[in-house]
Structure 1
Amino acid sequence: MILDDFIAYNTNGLYCRYADFYLDPQQPVENAVITHAHADHAVAGNQNVYATEATLAFMELRYGNKKAKVSYTVPYHTPFNIGEVQITFIPAGHMPGSAQVLMEYRGTRYLYTGDYKLQADATCEPIEWVQADVLITESTFADPNTQHPDPVEEIKKLNDIKINILLGAYSLGKSQRLISMINQHAPQKTVLVHHRIMPINAVYKKLGYDLGAHQVYNRKLMKEQREYVYIVPPFTFDSYIRATGVKRLFASGWKNLQANQQDTLFISDHVDWNDILEAVKQVNPQQIWTLHGDGRQLKEYFKNDIFVKIIG
């Protein structure tokens, strides 16, 4: 039997009262199940944290000994229990260590996706599918009008730009994916990386990911025109709004984050509309619960076939 209140939001985040744990809590809590290490999903100061090895490694880099009082490293496909709920991490394809959370309670299976993507990505584990009675999916881009282009074709746009490029990207996950893709699909480019991104790259290396050739940024280099691509975090990208002699691009699935309408680079680490429909097909749920976005379009689309509940 599906329990309508199996998880629900409270002031600390998404809570399972049947076993007293939170999924990606927004405030420090007693028991936190963390899907991945992005700051909007992994906060410091929790008492007990359950996460994959890679997620804990990135949290260690960001938070040090404040990442948790007690950390439990849980491999993919290895069930563990909190109270009466059995939990299993399933690869989510979002970034290294990202996990969907399969929760089994009294014969019913609930699958929380966290952030996930279906596109191929050499810098993280590919998504895997399991079936569940309830699919609890992020709905960041749950709009029929949002369909992300082929990321390889997007990155190949850089081949046609013969001046230096200032490329804005989130430091964890997106930057590393871009380094790898540029090396593979625009190999004549020389990749320069902001110094704050380099420690993250070092964690990737320890985890076994070879990103390809790149070097830390040197101001003297960017004064030359040698097809450099300088990858910078958002705050640096915004501070260079008046930069001259470079092409400014920002890699994102969001239209409002593109540098301008002519110079776009739509590379997203989230599912789009068609991806969510594929997830529904693969998981084959009786119900869909949506969060982290707007689930109204999904509710309308499945109104005659699958019950859709918007929980956040």
Structure 2
Amino acid sequence: MILDDFIVPGPAGLYCVYGDFYLDPKIPVKHAVISHAHGDHAISGNQDVYCTKPTSLFMLHRYKKFAASEFHIKEYGESFNLKSVKISFISAGHMAGSAQVVMEYLGVRYIYSGDYKLQTDPTSEPIQFMEADVFITETTFADPDTRHPDAETEITNLSKITSNIMLGAYALGKSQRIVRLISDHCPEKRILVHHSIMPFMKIYEQLGISLGKYEVYDRKVMKNNHSGMVYIVPPMVYRSYIKAINVVRVFASGWKHLNNNRELSLCISDHVDWNDIITAIEQVKPKEVWTNHGSGTELKAHFNEKLVVKLLN
């Protein structure tokens, strides 16, 4: 029997009372099961953190000694127990080390998706599917009007620009994917990476993930070359260089408003769009869908009474 209170939202995040742990807690807790290393899912200060190796490495770089009191590193498919709840990780395809959390209790399987994507991405493990009774899915882009274009096709838009490009991208996950995409599909471009992104690049390569050819940003190089350069910067730097001259400004995102009023749109998302959410639900074959991180109202209306859809947020 599905327990309606197996996962309950609260000020600290999604809590499982039967295992006494939180999924991607919002404030420091004793037992934290972390899906991936983005800052809105992996905060500092938790005591016991259960996650994949890449997630621990990214957290250790970002938070240093405050990353966790102790990490419990788990491989995909490796099971462990917190109280009476059996837990394992399967790949979410969102970024390196990202995981869906599989939880089994009293013969019922619950899967928490974290953030996930179905698009191919050589900088991330491909998504895995497993059937479950309850699928707790992110709904960041759960709108029938949202369709994310093919990332490989989208990145070739950069080849249409001869002048230098300042490309804004999130430092972890998105930047590494963008570098690999440019290397693979716009080989004529010379890629410069902001120094704050470089440690994450090195961790990716430490994990055996090839990112292609790139170099750390050098002001003289950018100044002396007026075409063919792509300078990748994190969001804060991108916003601070609002008056940068002699460059085309581009921001890589699935959010339409971040691509508005840009000289070039680069719609590349690391989240599922509407069609991919529907595909994931078809693969998981749940009896119930619980929604998180966004609005689930469109999904609820779509399935009507054919499938139970419960909104957790």
Q: State whether structure 2 residue 13 is matched by structure 1 residue 13.
A: yes
Q: Matched residue of 2:294: which SS?
A: coil
Q: Distance in 1 between matches of 2:262 and 2:281?
A: 33
Paired letter, 1:305: K
Which residue number in structure 2 is paired with residue 239 of structure 1? 240
TM-score (norm 2): 0.98
Deviation string, structure 1 residues 9-62 (Cα, Å, up to 9, x no partner): 111111001111000000000100000000100011111000000000101111
Contact map agreement 1:92 1:117 (CA 8 A) in 2: yes
Matches within 5 A, 1:39-78: 39-78=39-78
Distance 2:150 2:43 in 1: 32
Aligned-partner Cα distance in 1 for 2:287–2:4: 12
Aligned residue type for 1:309: K
CA contact (8 A) 1:249 1:259 kept: no
- Letter of the 1:162 counterpart: T
Aligned length: 312
Which runs of 5 or more structure 2 residues have no equivalent in the other structure? Answer: none
Question: How far off its partner does 1:261 sit?
Answer: 5.4
Residue 135 (structure 1) aligned with residue 128 (structure 2): no
Q: Which residue of 1 aligns with 2:285?
A: 284
1:178 aligns with: 178
**1:207 to 2:207 alignment:** yes
1:148-159 mapped onto 2 (5 Å cutoff): 148-159=148-159
Higher deviation after alignment, 222-231 or 33-42:
222-231
Report 1:82-231 matches (<5 A): 82-223=82-223, 224-231=225-232
- In 1: Cα distance, 2:293 partner to 2:241 partner: 30
Tell me the distance in 2 between the aligned counterparts of 1:261 and 1:234. 15
Letter of the structure 2 residue corresponding to residue 49 of structure 1: V
Q: Which amino acid aligns with 2:292?
A: L
Contact 1:250-1:259 within 8 A present in 2 as well: no
The question of whether the paired residues in 2 share the 8 Å contact of 1:248 and 1:259 is answered with no
Residue-by-residue CA offset, 1:253-306 (whole Å, 9 max, x unaligned) = 001111525510000000000000000100000000001000000000001310
Q: Distance between the aligned counterparts of 1:11 and 1:292, measured in 2? A: 14
Contact 1:85 1:105 in 2 (8 A): yes
Write the distance in 2 (CA, Å) between the matches of 1:255 and 1:226.
27
**The 10-residue stretch of structure 1 (262-271 or 289-298) with the greater mean CA deviation from structure 2:** 262-271
Deviations 1:135-178 (A, max 9, x none): 10000000000010011111000011000000000000000000
Q: Distance in 1 between matches of 2:11 and 2:239?
A: 32
Counterpart CA distance in 2 for 1:145 and 1:16 is: 33
CA–CA distance in structure 2, aligned partners of residues 4 and 163 of structure 1: 56
| Contact 2:44-2:63 at 8 Å conserved across structures | yes
Deviations 1:230-273 (A, max 9, x none): 00000111111111111100000001111525510000000000
Match of 1:296 in 2: 297
**Where do residues 268-283 of structure 1 align in structure 2 (5 Å cutoff)?**
268-283=269-284
Which AA in structure 1 matches 2:226?
Answer: Q
CA positional deviation for 1:226 = 3.0
- Secondary structure (helix, strand or coil) at the match of 1:292 reads strand
TM-score of the two chains, using structure 1 as the length reference: 0.99
**Matched residue type, 2:251:** F
Letter in 1 for 2:240: S
Query: Structure 1 unaligned runs (5+)?
Result: none
Is the Cα contact below 8 Å between 2:250 and 2:262 reproduced in 1? no
Q: Is 2:267 the counterpart of 1:266?
A: yes
The equivalent of 2:310 in structure 1 is 309
Between 137-146 and 253-262, the greater mean CA deviation after superposition: 253-262
Cα deviation digits, residues 205-230 of structure 1 (max 9, x gap):
11001101111111112222130000
User: Does the 8 Å CA contact 1:168/1:249 hold for their aligned counterparts?
Assistant: yes
Cα distance between partner residues in 2 of 1:118 and 1:10? 29
Letter in 2 for 1:146: T
Asked whether the 8 Å contact 2:102–2:111 carries over to 1, the reply is yes
Q: Distance in 2 between matches of 1:118 and 1:59?
A: 24
| CA deviation vs aligned residue, 1:46-94 (integer Å, no higher than 9, x gap) | 1100000000010111111211111100000011100000001000000
